[in-house]
């Protein structure tokens, strides 16, 4: 069972935690100011950063131990902090340079564009393409993009390979 860490975003954490297929196969952990020191020695398979974070040595240690990093490309994160880390960085959001971005949006679904190859946790190469995903009414679009990016990374979405 792998660990998925969510930095400082309780709403996104709860969304992932309640997403049955993902939480049954993985331990989802909310990383927050009060517990961050306890997380430094956990090896997370995936870490998600959806908002600007206060970068320090503990954050770096957590990221150094991770395999995948999902980052909201629309947040005001200084991407320079990720230089030198040996992990796969996948960006998501409305930013046109994001790995997974929105091509179009309708009332109940999104057309997502995968702009670069993504190697999944199962070692499958997902090539650039567009895919439709259904929107969850409870969550904002950014959260839906984040969970869809997890779906892609963990091979839980029908796409062409």
pLDDT in tens, 58-81: 999 999 999 999 999 999 888 888
Q: How many domains does one find in the chain?
A: 1
| pLDDT over 90, % of the chain | 58
Task: List Cβ neighbours of 2 (8 Å cut-off, separation of 6 or more).
Answer: 25, 26, 27, 44, 45, 46, 121
Query: Looking at the domain assignment, is residue 32 inside a domain?
Result: yes
Query: Looking at the domain assignment, is residue 133 inside a domain?
Result: yes
pTM, two decimals, is 0.91
Residue 93 lies in domain: 2-153
Q: Average of pLDDT values for 81-89?
A: 92
Render the burial of 9-36: b for 16+ CB within 10 Å, e for the rest: beebbbbbbebeebeeebebbbbeeeeb
Query: Looking at the domain assignment, is residue 145 inside a domain?
Result: yes
**To which H or E segment does residue 155 belong?**
none
Query: Looking at the domain assignment, is residue 143 inside a domain?
Result: yes
We report the CATH number of the domain holding residue 91 as 3.40.1190.10
């Amino acid at each position: 069972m792998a660990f998925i860490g969510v930095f400082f975003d309780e709403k996104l954490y709860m969304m992932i935690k309640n997403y049955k297929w993902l939480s049954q196969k993985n331990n989802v952990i909310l990383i927050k100011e009060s517990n961050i020191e306890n997380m430094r020695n956990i090896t997370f398979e995936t870490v998600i950063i959806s908002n600007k974070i206060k970068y320090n040595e503990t954050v770096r240690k957590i990221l150094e131990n991770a395999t995948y990093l999902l980052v909201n490309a629309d947040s005001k994160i200084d991407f320079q902090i990720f230089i030198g880390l040996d992990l796969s960085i996948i960006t998501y959001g409305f930013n046109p340079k994001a790995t997974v971005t929105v091509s179009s949006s309708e009332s109940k679904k999104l057309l997502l564009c995968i702009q670069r190859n993504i190697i999944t946790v199962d070692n499958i190469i997902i090539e650039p393409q567009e895919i439709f995903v259904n929107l969850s009414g409870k969550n904002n679009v950014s959260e839906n993009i984040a969970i869809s990016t997890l779906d892609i990374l963990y091979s839980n979405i029908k796409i062409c390979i």
